Amino acid sequence: MPKEHILFISAGAHIDETYSITVQNLNPTHVFVLAENKIFEPDTITDADTDTKESTFQEEKPNIQKAIKNLESKVKTEYLREYQLIQFPELDQDVIRDLIIKIRNEHKDAEYSFNVTAGTAIFSTSLFLMAVWLGGRACITRSKFDFLELKIPKMSVKELESYPDLMKIVLALGTKIKNKNIGSDDGWMRNKELLVKLGVIAAERERVKNNDKVNQTRDMDKLKAWNLVEERKSGREIEYRLSSDGIFAYNIFREQ
From first to last of its 256 residues, what are the pLDDT tens digits of the chain? 678 999 999 998 889 988 999 999 999 999 999 999 988 887 755 555 555 666 777 788 889 999 999 999 999 999 999 999 999 988 889 999 999 999 999 998 999 999 999 888 889 999 999 999 998 999 999 876 789 999 888 888 888 889 999 999 999 999 999 999 999 999 999 988 898 888 887 777 777 777 767 778 889 999 999 999 999 998 888 999 999 999 999 998 887 6
- What is the domain partition of the chain in residue ranges? 5-150, 157-255
**Domain 157-255: CATH class, spelled out:** mainly alpha
| Farthest CA pair distance, the chain | 83
At residue 44, the pLDDT reads 59
Q: What is the pTM of this model?
A: 0.76
What CA–CA distance (Å, rounded) separates 186 from 230?
Answer: 12
At residue 45, the pLDDT reads 53
At residue 59, the pLDDT reads 81
Instruction: Please give the CATH architecture assigned to the domain spanning 5-150.
Output: 3-Layer(aba) Sandwich (3.40)
SS3 136: coil
Alpha-carbon distances, residue 24 vs 17, 144, 145 (angstroms): 11, 11, 10
At residue 42, the pLDDT reads 79
* Structural contact between residues 219 and 166, judged by C-beta atoms closer than 8 angstroms: yes
Torsion angle in degrees (nearest 10) through CA of 81, 140, 97, 41? -80
DSSP 44: -
